[in-house]
Structure 1
Amino acid sequence: MKTKLIHLLKQIFPSSYTELAVFLFFLICYGTLGTYIALHYRIIFDSRIPWDAYFSFDNKAIVMTGGSFERHPLAYYFFNWIREFSLMISGGKMDASFRLTLAWLSNTAISLCMVQIFKYLKNIIRLPLAISLILILFFGLFSTSIILSFTPENFTYTLLLLSIYNYYAAIKLRKEEKIPGSALTLAGITIGGLTITNIVKVFIPILFEKDLFRSWKKFGNAVFRVILATVCFAFLYLLRIDFKYQNIFSKTNQQYEKFSNVESIPDWDMILSYFFGGSILFPSFMTTDKHNMKGFDFKGLLMEPYSSAFCYAFVIVLLVLILWSYFKNFRNKLVQILVISFVIDIVIHCIMRFGLHTSYIYGGHFVFVYPLLLGWLFYAYRSEPRTISFLTVIMGIMLAFLLTNNLFRMSDFFQFLETYYQ
């Protein structure tokens, strides 16, 4: 037990000087940003604003309740700990210290996520250090990474948990070992508990365990582990709602109708600008008039579709690289796991259209796939220096554009804060 705990801690936290440097770099960068916002503005947590202050995040509602039970069934318990810890630090007041604690918890989670992705690039894909650093910096500049680094939300911790689990599963499959039922159950409860649709992603790596479909014993064991994880999750879910399971279906239908019937922007533009693009490359912003349904009016900030051909070009080039990586590594089971996981989100948001008009907020469910698939693309051409040089130049150009664009858009974000949230 002691050995397993040590291995778990080494997996989650930095275990080398390079990993520690990556962690501290992002902790300082994100921490500076979050600290400044928490101390000078009230947008991270304002008791009068339950949702939609910026980019449709539900900061107050999530911190106070964990979010709606039909989508975030067990988040209530997790955010009870987050809220009580923050209140303990702030002396029971929901003031700047309270906001600062929430911001630093988010900052730490996203910085640890960067470590997980770096570990995957270095230890699983085994890329050279320079390329790993380029890819992790690229990932660290994503709009999702920046925003979640100071936002107390389900997506913040979902991104960390999915990154941890994918790295853990990759280690197990690389060693041709099965994922234990205990680990599968813990992952199902934590990942599925924060967002219910993500529980499916927990089971994907099992499909690629060695000789799964060639041995009835191994197949039966896999089925048992899945059933065990599902039953434990379902029991805790039903316990959370006092076994009133009828409410799940009625609430789910209401949520689907509410978030799937927006026709103001063409679907193709929402897919490119919001789902694929907005979670990585900030578009321009627009302010909207909001109210908390209790007489308080406030301003909200939303993303607009891209207005620049360069932004569309960036997204298209990135998607081409991702598809190139997939087809080049088609026989790689670890790549298949990442892509299948990504396809689940594409189906939910792009095909079923759930929340497509604000799909940039769901980036925490899938953005970690981009740097990993890019890493596998570099790996596929490790013995071809010319192709590696070409890919490095492309990544350098994209990195420069991403940095310039997102810094510029963050200045717009701060202008919004200065105007409405001092």
Structure 2
Amino acid sequence: MKILNKILSILKIVFPSTKTELLIFLFFVILYGANAWFIAENFSIIYDDRIPWDGYFSFDNRAIVQTGGGFERHPLSNYFFDQIRNFALWISGNRYDSVFRLVLALFSTFVVSLANVQIFKYLNNIIQIPLKISLLILAFYGLFVTNILLSFTPETYTYTLLFLSMFNYYSAKKIKEEKPISFGATIFGSIFIGGLTITNIVKVYIPFLFEKKIFWNWKKIGMAVAKIATSVIVFVFLFLLRLNFNFQNFLNKTEEQYDKFSKPKATPLWDMIYSWFFGGNILFSNYEIRDYHNKDKTFYYKALFMDVYTSFVPYLFIGIILLLIIWSVFKNYKNKLIWILVITFLFDVLIHCVLKFGLHTSYIYGGHFVFVYPLLLGWLFFSYRDRRTSISLFYGLLLIMTAYLGFNNYYRLTEFYQFLETYYR
């Protein structure tokens, strides 16, 4: 009976557990699914066997689907994507056709919609702000570039977005209830989150810093260390198994990838950080088309990338969002759940903005951190819960910003369709 209750508890966290959550899930499935279906059915961009990488916005769809990506960054994702690829091939009759693309795309739709439900659960159950505010924040978040792109893209970031959103909600729930994070959650979080992107494994361990009185109780410290150590041992064993225990190969590839993806670009550093890291995951910018070819130079194709913002309004829009989340941290600085989000976010700032890893395409990394934005906005509303005038002003501002975000991103999406119509029909 205890095991059954445990399973039911896990299912309630992972899947919609109320009528409102189910309606939210179905809404996003229909919204994202219509877009995914249209693209998969009519264009080859989601999976084209001739395109090894960078068909659109630097996503490596084919490489991820076929191999799970490079082991130096995605150590266990090949096991994960082998199952997805095989299932899609089973449905398509072993053909890499529109049915195959559609299955991959709808998997992504399902995953991103489920991730959005996790955000609502946090807003509704952890922060406990009014329903209409939660729904507006969720609508705003649902229109982010990251969610739109990942909702039809078979990539590691798609599934990382779900697992991070889920683990963040779970750990916040445990901390709020003053209960410890379980052994099982630590191990599975490490495998699924760290396995898809190795640097994200750190985010599984951040919540341990905020368990109740953990630094004043040696037993609690010992238990936390044991959980982390066990999860690391399991993770490392599975990782070395994939490498055939050739760890030197991992070190060589890691150095090679860092050199490749951290070189300065012609774009000013501040603009890469502002337009791509902070802005590119939220608000579409202009596009640029580049000529690419596969390794053997037997196939030449067009690839689409984001340019930096070229007008004042997008810079202002992103500036307002950053100001709101900074203000949220300032207003809630005594709240330990805020600092879990902040440290999680700052870890990505360190990797991409300070170390400059992948900064020139940092708009593809949103699945690692973009879920932090709506949650910090939720905490901002919470901090003004007793001031109706302030709540109304914030609500009105967010309503206007949601309308602008929706208009801008829909317009840019139609431009993306034109690109597909021209080169990927």
TM-score, length-normalised on structure 2?
Answer: 0.99
Look up the equivalent residue of 2:308 and give its one-letter code.
P
Counterpart in the other structure of 2:40: 38
* CA offset digits 1:281-323 (Å, max 9, x no partner): 0001010000111211000000000001000000111000010
* CA offset digits 1:151-174 (Å, max 9, x no partner): 000000000000000000011001
Counterpart in the other structure of 1:385: 388
Counterpart in the other structure of 1:356: 359
Counterpart in the other structure of 1:403: 406
Q: Unmatched 5+ residue regions in structure 2?
A: none
* CA offset digits 1:329-379 (Å, max 9, x no partner): 111111100010000000000000000000000000000000000000000
Look up the equivalent residue of 2:71 and give its one-letter code.
F
Q: 1:234-383 alignment to 2 at 5 Å?
A: 234-294=236-296, 295-383=298-386
Q: How far apart, in 2, do the equivalents of 1:262 and 1:413 lie?
A: 27
Look up the equivalent residue of 1:416 and give its one-letter code.
F
Q: How far apart, in 1, do the equivalents of 2:179 and 2:19 lie?
A: 28
Q: How far apart, in 2, do the equivalents of 1:214 and 1:13 lie?
A: 36
Counterpart in the other structure of 2:225: 223
The share of aligned pairs that are identical, in percent, is 56
Q: Unmatched 5+ residue regions in structure 1?
A: none
Number of paired residues?
422
* CA offset digits 1:8-48 (Å, max 9, x no partner): 11111111111111001000000000000000000000011
Question: Once the 2 structures are TM-superposed, how far is the Cα of residue 263 of structure 1 from its aligned partner?
Answer: 2.3
Counterpart in the other structure of 1:205: 207
Q: How far apart, in 1, do the equivalents of 2:216 and 2:424 lie?
A: 60
Counterpart in the other structure of 2:76: 74
Is the deviation greater in 191-200 or in 393-402?
Answer: 393-402
Is the deviation greater in 354-363 or in 390-399?
Answer: 390-399
Give every structure 1 segment of 4 or more consecutive aligned residues whose post-TM-superposition deviation is greater than 6 Å.
none
Look up the equivalent residue of 1:363 and give its one-letter code.
G
Matched, 1:167 2:153: no
Q: How far apart, in 1, do the equivalents of 2:344 and 2:71 lie?
A: 23
TM-score, length-normalised on structure 1?
Answer: 0.99
Q: How far apart, in 1, do the equivalents of 2:293 and 2:228 lie?
A: 43
Matched, 1:27 2:29: yes
* CA offset digits 1:165-211 (Å, max 9, x no partner): 00000110011011011210110011000000000000000000111
* CA offset digits 1:117-150 (Å, max 9, x no partner): 0011000000111000000000100000000000
Q: How far apart, in 2, do the equivalents of 1:7 and 1:212 lie?
A: 25
Q: How far apart, in 1, do the equivalents of 2:411 and 2:272 lie?
A: 22
Look up the equivalent residue of 2:424 and give its one-letter code.
Y
Q: How far apart, in 2, do the equivalents of 1:263 and 1:281 lie?
A: 22
Q: How far apart, in 2, do the equivalents of 1:216 and 1:20 lie?
A: 42
Look up the equivalent residue of 1:73 and give its one-letter code.
P
Counterpart in the other structure of 1:183: 185
Q: How far apart, in 1, do the equivalents of 2:75 and 2:302 lie?
A: 29
Look up the equivalent residue of 2:414 and give its one-letter code.
S
Counterpart in the other structure of 1:142: 144
Counterpart in the other structure of 2:418: 415
Q: 1:55-204 alignment to 2 at 5 Å?
A: 55-204=57-206
Q: How far apart, in 2, do the equivalents of 1:90 and 1:106 lie?
A: 17
3-state SS in 1 of match to 2:140: helix
Look up the equivalent residue of 1:171 and give its one-letter code.
K
3-state SS in 1 of match to 2:275: helix
* CA offset digits 1:105-124 (Å, max 9, x no partner): 00000000010000110000
Q: How far apart, in 1, do the equivalents of 2:177 and 2:59 lie?
A: 39
